[in-house]
């Protein structure tokens, strides 16, 4: 009898400890960590050298950036920041440099919306200084002055991208309603050509989007 009571007490304590451990694990917040930063790709072109060195250096600089990410394991993501710099001198391309700076990040315990924001803002913000350093190194090796890129507000870039996506979705819905209503009048669901002008008026790429999304 006493042995049974001891077994029951032992089992109860073990269950209590397991419950406490599970509760502590459940209370742990999201985990974010950087595993590795690496250079994925880089290129530099200066097609107008050495002629470009003969004129006074007053270039027009164009700067583009893009981010992408992929899941490579549970809670582990590969994030790539792509920067492209084009310098034009007298309407000629003085140099074109492209860098893809990448990093592997651990992101566990985030809600879906929070994970999307972290991958689009926090990770690129960590990668940007390394990409900027690589760009300046390539440009100066090409005998041009360093570009010295200003810091990028990735939170603002992400917010702008989300706003544009929302606007495109609203425009696509307007296009869809317009086309379906026009085709209903014509009695033909595939009369894209008859409403092309109206669709393009709503969205610059309307015809392509309509063909791909609504009439397949």
Interatomic CA distance for residues 148 and 180, integer angstroms: 51
> What is the Cα–Cα distance from 57 to 142, expressed in whole angstroms?
14
Beta 76-89 vs 31-45: how paired, if at all?
Answer: unpaired
What pTM, to 2 d.p., does this model score?
0.66
**Tens place of pLDDT for every residue, the chain, 216 residues?**
544 555 545 455 544 454 455 444 445 689 999 999 999 999 999 999 999 999 899 999 999 999 999 999 999 999 999 999 999 998 899 999 999 999 999 999 999 999 999 999 999 999 999 999 999 999 999 999 998 888 899 998 888 888 877 776 566 566 556 555 544 444 444 443 433 333 333 333 333 333 333 333
Q: What is the rounded CA–CA span in Å between residue 79 and residue 69?
A: 4
pLDDT value of residue 162: 82
The Cα 159–Cα 113 span in angstroms is 13
Distance of CA 83 to the CA centre of its chain: 12
CA–CA–CA angle 128, 130, 136 (5° rounding): 100
Which of these CATH numbers, 3.40.50.300, 3.10.420.10, 3.40.50.1240, 3.30.70.120, describes 27-152?
3.10.420.10
Q: Rounded distance, CA 15 to CA 24, Å?
A: 14
């Amino acid at each position: 009898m006493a042995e049974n009571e001891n077994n029951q007490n032992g089992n109860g304590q073990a269950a209590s400890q397991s419950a406490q451990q599970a509760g502590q694990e459940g209370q742990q917040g999201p985990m974010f960590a950087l595993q590795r930063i690496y250079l994925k790709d880089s290129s530099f072109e200066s097609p107008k050298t050495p002629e470009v060195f003969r004129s006074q250096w007053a270039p027009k600089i164009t700067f583009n950036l893009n981010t992408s990410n992929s899941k490579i394991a549970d809670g582990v993501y590969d994030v790539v920041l792509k920067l492209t710099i084009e310098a034009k001198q007298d309407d000629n391309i003085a140099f074109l440099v492209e860098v893809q700076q990448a990093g592997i990040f651990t992101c566990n315990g985030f809600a879906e919306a929070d994970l999307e924001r972290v991958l689009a803002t926090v990770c690129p913000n960590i990668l940007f200084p390394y990409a900027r350093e690589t760009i300046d190194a390539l440009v100066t090796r090409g005998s041009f002055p360093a570009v010295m890129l200003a810091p990028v507000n990735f939170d603002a870039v992400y917010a702008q991208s989300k706003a544009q996506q929302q606007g495109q979705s609203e425009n696509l819905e307007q296009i869809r309603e317009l086309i379906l209503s026009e085709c209903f009048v014509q009695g033909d669901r595939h009369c894209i050509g008859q409403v092309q002008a109206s669709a393009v008026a709503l969205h610059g790429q309307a015809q392509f989007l309509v063909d791909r999304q609504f009439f397949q």
